[in-house]
Structure 1
């Protein structure tokens, strides 16, 4: 009976850790397209706090848009020649697995220069709780996501040196801690 209690408790805690992750539809109703406002995606991200475990979903028309993961310099200058990763099959889903900045652009025509670009700064799962904290002003360089997928891309990254982030940050610690306490009973 104690084994069943431990298993159920562990499963509830794992479920709770996953429930706290947010799924963001990039651009909301506009989706991932060339906006009429150059600052549209910056404004869209401004009131959000992106955390480890959250997911970005880029929905767009295949053959008219794409999602390119790029460096900070490429983002700022809309350089599309050498993206770190190019994803062309919608929807593209990016799991935020590490803290730090991540930069995305569309490489079609002048879409990036017309505002189809997004910068997010990912905080740990237990990070800032004030809306906008750490959301749109990427700072220190981080390792960008690199794992591809057919239509769905789940990123895998290594946290920067000195980072305490894990795949689920503080939630993983909580699950391990409660599991250890339950094991005592």
Structure 2
């Protein structure tokens, strides 16, 4: 009986982590571009809490921008010579799969020096910080998985690349009533059924 309860509890926690994952459009309506304000992406990220299981989506005009996953040092110095991973086909979707700081820059021209760069800190899917945090001092370079066709990790072990298919598919926006309430309703029904077994 205790084993069944532990299994059900584990399944509920896993399901809750998946249901409440967020998809973030980096920069929202501004998308991924060279911003007018060099602090734009820092300001954008400051109001958010990024968790394991969330996904970042970088959208940009083809050939005008790119996304490079870099170390903290490369982020701070806009060093684009040896990125951990470099993606050129929009949209770039990156799954956040471990905790810790993450750093992204555009390697086109001087875009990074003009503020087209993003630093975030990823916390655990459940528990963890409840307010946005600033990336720490330890360079966090793993833990992101590019999921866009044509992406190429440039360092062994930097992540895997998985084509996601057509960009014409649609899903309810993160945080919408349909996705949140549907997940919560299912979770409540699942827990009620599990409790009925006891």
CA contact (8 A) 2:97 2:145 kept: no
Unaligned 5+ runs, structure 2: 1-7, 152-157, 161-190
Q: How does 1:1-185 map to 2 (within 5 A)?
A: 14-125=14-125, 126-130=127-131, 132=132, 134=133, 136-145=134-143, 147-151=145-149, 156=159, 185=198
Shift of 1:140: 2.5
Q: Secondary structure at the match of 2:56?
A: strand
Q: How far, CA to CA, are the matches of 1:12 and 1:37 in structure 2?
A: 43
Q: Secondary structure at the match of 1:75?
A: helix
Give the aligned CA root-mean-square deviation in angstroms: 3.0
CA contact (8 A) 2:42 2:118 kept: yes
Change (3 A) 1:152 1:128: farther
Shift of 1:18: 1.3
Shift of 1:137: 2.9
Shift of 1:152: 8.1
- Could you tell me the TM-score, scaled by structure 1's length? 0.71
CA contact (8 A) 2:98 2:144 kept: no
Q: How far, CA to CA, are the matches of 2:130 and 2:24 in structure 1?
A: 17
Q: Secondary structure at the match of 1:36?
A: coil
- Could you tell me the TM-score, scaled by structure 2's length? 0.67
